[in-house]
Structure 1
């Protein structure tokens, strides 16, 4: 009898980011359908959450529990430094126990948000280097990537990509960014975000009179190269989003605030407090399925976080992006909504309202476009997963 294939899942999973967990859910669904014999576990940011929610054993990604908190004392600095050495041993030992390790989606090769090289980029490098040493197949599946100016971060990302056995990207822009770093991407595929593989709830019929609007908020402080302006960027974003919500309320529209990461909760709370209207409520979403249900019940969605946008377009609801990254612009263009992007760094409320009203005027037409684009996206993700089986599970295919 053949030994079951041992599959590890790796990343900042179970850490409060619903998009990351949605990618995990999509890959788990694929493994359970196509490789039910596989023995699956995870090395991740929130092992307790992953084990409880998805029923697989999970181990904490970092030995030092304060890895993602700012080190403000000698003890914390020493703990982080020691943790880097311990994590090298722990990661290598974990990788060695597996035949395949999958990094499911996520922007693991990006620096579009503040990022330190010795945080997750270092963890990813340890994973990919250990895979080469122990001949464990490491797959970066439908991941996001971006141009990176910081030298150390760029080097760790470049080597991680080079050392991976398999790579695919959630957009041509991501593949081009890695190619520009000197990685040969000639054999790497581009496909939609993995979360397009998740079940889609049925969208509600548009209300008459106009119904609710979902506004997806984000704890946005700019990108990795904008740390000096972080507070200014955040203030402009929060003020502009609050004014937009207030304008919707003045038009009598119910507003549901969506968050995609637990870090976003204070932003939603600040808007609720500032607007002070019973027409504004915050959704208590704990998964992408919850976010999709909220978006499906809305007449329109205006959102910032990438996976809030994915959820909205996936259920076919007309959507406007408060865009903080080129990846959002690309997604919107691919889904036929390229005209409905507004910069998150420079929210102009009058212009945003004008774009929103134009979006709603084309609602019926855009719902038809989104239905067609979603069918195409699902087919491309299915093709991606078939290619993944051929690349990572050749023995299973041959049996």
Structure 2
């Protein structure tokens, strides 16, 4: 299995958890391993063999100077040789979910290059490649797009988590005629037990907050984007508190703790002494447990949206990517979306009031759609067993 796992993104960890659980359940005799960003974390969490995505190149001394003098080509060649050696031991390499084919926060020399490197190595030694329920697009950098689509062409199996991912690949000239659409892998995880409903006049509102600094994060103006997002969200949270609702702050990545602190400070400036519930989480299961303590959710991260829906919580999305909107539309909640960089607080308040008034109707519709999603997950499992894993 390959991906940016172990780095504190609970959505990514949930995708890996779903795939590991499936393989252990259906192929208990298989030896599992993971190529990931933080091998020690994944090894400790899942009890499987791990290795890093990249080898440590020569950083100092004569060998380092020679490598830099030769445009780092010797280091790249040594890294690729090691990649070939490692992947040779595997029959199948699986990319389990995640937005593996987008360049959110990535430069071409990062994951776009690494994905192609590992797929080329796998093809050279006859290892089968499967992209399973992945997200694709946008890939805004042209070089990153070339690297990622080239890698996808090498796969023996591809499925996307939504129609817009497949349509994106088609829009960049990719042949998707043999590619299927199945739900995000996290929908195959067990959901938490729901808590009792609260009185409609005093709702428990989950606010999923993200340390969002724009699509690339490292680009100029990122901090001002985060500051504007926090400021508007603080005004919304104050409205909730003034209306008598309880607010619980939710995250989907360890980095989001920065945004939690910033939001608490901003709300404190507007309403000194305000209390906002927040608990530390360490997995996607923990996030679902937090969702179980809410009645309605307003969130930004994709897998916060997924967790809320898995708990049948009516949800509003402050989306940073089209994937949020597509999932919301599939759940009958398409009218409850705004973009994270441009959302209007007054519109958000109106959306919340409308959603709260129709809570029971949306809970039922979400539940019916979840049954369909579970059936689709099972169909893909059968397909993987018959045609990919063997």
**Distance in 1 between the 2:174 and 2:314 partners?**
37
**Distance in 1 between the 2:10 and 2:55 partners?**
23
2:92 corresponds in structure 1 to 100
1:121 to 93, 112, 127: 112
1:312 to 299, 308, 312: 308
Cα-to-partner distance string for 1:193-238 (whole Å, 9 max, x where unaligned) = 0000000112223201423211111111122499344333222212
Unaligned 5+ runs, structure 1: 1-8, 68-73, 395-399
**Tell me, what secondary structure is at the counterpart of 2:230?**
helix
1:71 corresponds in structure 2 to none
2:349 to 332, 353, 378: 353
1:380 is displaced (CA, Å) by 0.5
1:156 corresponds in structure 2 to 147
* 1:20 and 2:16 are equivalent in the alignment: no
2:289 corresponds in structure 1 to 293
* 1:144 and 2:132 are equivalent in the alignment: no
CA RMSD of aligned residues (A): 2.2
What is the total number of aligned residue pairs between the two structures?
A: 378
1:272 is displaced (CA, Å) by 1.4
Unaligned 5+ runs, structure 2: none
**Distance in 1 between the 2:227 and 2:146 partners?**
32
User: Contact (CA 8 Å) 1:125, 1:156: kept in 2 or not?
Assistant: yes
1:83 is displaced (CA, Å) by 5.7
* 1:196 and 2:182 are equivalent in the alignment: no
Q: Which moved more, 1:274-283 or 1:52-61?
A: 274-283
* 1:383 and 2:379 are equivalent in the alignment: yes
Q: Which moved more, 1:168-177 or 1:82-91?
A: 82-91
Cα-to-partner distance string for 1:161-200 (whole Å, 9 max, x where unaligned) = 1011111100111011112222211111101100000001
1:39 corresponds in structure 2 to 31
CA separation of 1:225 and 1:50: change in aligned 2, threshold 3 A: closer
Matches within 5 A, 1:247-258: 247-258=239-250
1:32 is displaced (CA, Å) by 0.8
1:212 corresponds in structure 2 to 204
Cα-to-partner distance string for 1:63-94 (whole Å, 9 max, x where unaligned) = 24999xxxxxx99x959947644432232221
The TM-score, its normalising length taken from structure 2, stands at 0.92
The TM-score, its normalising length taken from structure 1, stands at 0.90
**Distance in 2 between the 1:213 and 1:64 partners?**
45
1:384 is displaced (CA, Å) by 1.0
**Distance in 1 between the 2:188 and 2:316 partners?**
22
Q: Which moved more, 1:225-234 or 1:288-297?
A: 225-234
2:276 corresponds in structure 1 to 280
